Structure 1
Amino acid sequence: MKQKIYQVDAFTDTLFKGNPAAVCILENWIPDELMQQIAAENNLAETAFAVPGDKAYELRWFTPKLEVDLCGHATLATAYVLFNHYGAEGDIIRFSSPRSGDLSVKRSEDGWLTLDFPKDTIQPDYPSDEIIQALGKRPFGCYKGKTDYLYIYEEQEDIEELDPDFFRMSKLDGRGVIVSAPGRETDFVSRFFAPQAGINEDPVTGSAHTTLAPYWAEQLIKTRMTARQLSERGGYLKCEIAGNRVYISGQAVLYLTGEIELP
C-alpha cells in the first residue's frame, strides 16, 4: 500500500529553518505499531497522522520513540498540508486529539497559521541536584507543568550558553525541560530539551509555549507576546493568551512531497 507523506518546516518562512515535521493524511487509522515504525524511520522530532472525521480531523503525534500528548509544530505542519494540498475549505481546520481534546488552526490572509491550544497550568518546583548538574547552571525560577519542567534564567545569554548533559537529563521524569529568559529582540526566548523522548534538543516547540506564554504573560503583564526559540535552526512565534487557551502563530514552508510503501 502506498501512502503520501509530506515534510514541512514549521515556525519559519525559510527552508531549512524552524522545526521539520512529517505529515501523513490517512483514510483510516493504521496500527499504532506501524505509525511508530514510520516515525522512527523518518527520525524527525515528530510525525503527525491525521484521519478525517465527521466534524474534525483526528490527530496523533509520534516521536521516533513514543506517542506524545501534544505537538505544536506538527499540528501547524498538518494544517499547512490540508490547506495547501488537500483543498481544505474556509480558514479554520478543526482537530480532535485523543490526548489533548479539541484543537484548531486558523489561516490568516498573510499566510500565518494560528494554533488554538489549551493553556498549561504551572506550579512552583524545586530543581534537583541532578537537573542543575545536567543544565550546568542554576536557574532562578523553577516550575512544573503538565508534562514539562520550566526553568527561568536572567538573560538571553544564559539560554544561548547552556550546554546540557543529555545523559543526566534523560533520567528525569516528565517529557522535557524548557529553559527561558527575557529576549533582546523578542519578549522572551527559550530552548527545549527532551532526551527522554528521543529528542536531545527540539528546534522549535509549539506545545512548550502553552507553558511559556502563561508564565511570561504574568511576568510582563501583557497578553500578546513575541518569542524566539534559540536552537541551531531557530524559530519565531507569536503568542496570545485568551482565557484558558493559548494562540500560537507561525509560518510554514514545504520541503518534501513523497510516497512511502506500507506493508
Structure 2
Amino acid sequence: MLLDFHQVDAFTDRPFAGNPAMVYRLDAWLGDELMQKIAAEHNLSETAFLVKEPEGWRIRWFTPTAEVPLCGHATLASAHVLFEVFDEPGEVLELNSLSGPLRVTREEGRLALNFPSQPPSELGATVELEQALGLPVVDALSTAKHLMVLLESEQAVRECKPDFAALARMPYLGVIVTARGDDYDFVSRFFCPAIGINEDPVTGATHCNLIPYWSARLNKLQMRAFQCSERGGELWCRLEGDRVSIAGYAHLVASGRLLVV
C-alpha cells in the first residue's frame, strides 16, 4: 500500500521555520494502530489524517505517542494541503474533529483557524513548579489539559530550560510558559514531554488559552503573538466571543509516498 504525504511548515512563510506537520489525505480511515505507527515513524510533533466523510471532512491528529483532541498547526497545514495541493474550492474549509466543528478561512494571504476559546482558571504557583522550570513564576493557571505559567518577561520565556522529566510527571498534557512581549503583544513556549515532545515549535491549540487570557490583561481583541522556540512562529490572534481566530502562513516543504507492506 502506498500512501501520499505532504510536509508543511505552519505559522511561517518560509521553509525550516514554524512547526512542521505531516498531512495524509486518505480515501478511507486506516486502523488507529497503523496511524499511530505512521506518526511515530515521521516523529514530528503532529501527523494529521483527513478523510472526506458523507457529512464533510474529518481530521484526526497523532503525536509520535498518542492521538490528541485538538491541534492548531497541523490543522493549518492540512488546510494548506487541501487548498494548494488538491485545489479544494472556496475560501472556507469546514472540518469535523474530536473537539467539534472547526473552520479555516483564507484571510489576507494567511489561513485563519476558528477554534473554541478556553480561558484558564487561577491555580497558583508552587515550589515544585518553580524548581521544574528553573525560574521564578509570577502566576500559574490551569486549563482543561494544560498548565499555563506566567513569567516575568520575554527574556525569561526565551531562557527557560525546564526539567523535562519533572514536567512529564505533572498531571497535564503540557506546560505553557508566557509573558508580555517586547515586540509582540505576548510570547509563549510549550513543553509537552508527557506526550513525547519536549518542546513544540509553534502551537495553535495553546492559543485557545492564551488569547482570552491576554485579551483580558491587555484589554485588546486583536493581538500579534510569537512562539519563541528555536524555529519560532508568528500568529495573528483575535478573540471572537466564545471562539478565537488564530491566523498564520504555511509553506509546503516536501511531498512523497510511504510504503506500507
**TM-score (norm. length: structure 2):** 0.98
CA–CA distance in 2 between the matches of 1:27 and 1:165? 42
Q: Structure 1 residue 106 and structure 2 residue 114: aligned?
A: no
Q: Is the 8 A contact 2:119 2:210 kept in 1?
A: no
**CA displacement 1:190-223 (0-9 Å, x = unmatched):** 0000000111010000000000000000000010
Alignment partner of 1:237: what SS?
Answer: strand
Residue 12 of structure 1: aligned partner: 12
Letter in 1 for 2:99: S
> Structure 2 residue aligned with 1:198, among 196, 210, 218?
196
Sequence identity percentage? 46
Q: Hey, what does 1:126 align to over in structure 2?
A: 124
Find the counterpart in structure 2 of residue 44 from structure 1: 44
**For each residue in 1:135-192, what CA deviation from the matched residue of structure 2 results, as whole angstroms up to 9, or x when unmatched?**
0113111100111111011211111111111011111111100000010110000000
Code of the residue aligned with 2:76 in structure 1: it is: L
Q: Which amino acid aligns with 1:69?
A: P
Q: Work out the CA distance in 2 between the residues paired with 1:258 and 1:238.
A: 31
**Letter of the 1:51 counterpart:** V
Map 1:77-156 to 2 at 5 A: 77-97=77-97, 99-108=98-107, 110-156=108-154
What secondary structure sits across from 1:29 in the alignment? coil
Distance in 2 of aligned mates of 1:125 and 1:96:
32
Gaps of 5+ in 2: none
Q: Note the 1:1-263 alignment, pairs <5 A.
A: 1-97=1-97, 99-108=98-107, 110-263=108-261
The amino acid of 1:89's aligned partner reads: P
Q: Matches of 1:178 and 1:56 in 2, distance apart?
A: 33
Deviations 1:203-244 (A, max 9, x none): 000000000000000000010000000100000001100010
Bigger Cα displacement from structure 2, 78-87 vs 127-136: 127-136
Amino acid of the residue matched to residue 209 of structure 2? Answer: T
Letter of the structure 1 residue corresponding to residue 253 of structure 2? Y
**What's the offset of the Cα at 1:62?**
0.3
Q: Distance in 1 between matches of 2:92 and 2:190?
A: 28
Contact 1:55 1:94 in 2 (8 A): no
Count of matched residue positions in the alignment of Structure 1 and Structure 2:
261
TM-score of the pair, normalised by structure 1? 0.97
**SS of 2:132 mapped into structure 1:** helix
Contact preservation (8 Å) 1:61, 1:74:
yes
Contact 2:102-2:115 within 8 A present in 1 as well: yes
Q: Letter of the aligned partner of 1:196 in structure 2?
A: A
SS of residue in 2 equivalent to 1:101: coil
Q: Partner amino acid for 1:246?
A: V
Q: Which runs of 5+ in 1 are unaligned?
A: none
Larger CA deviation: 125-134 vs 238-247? 125-134
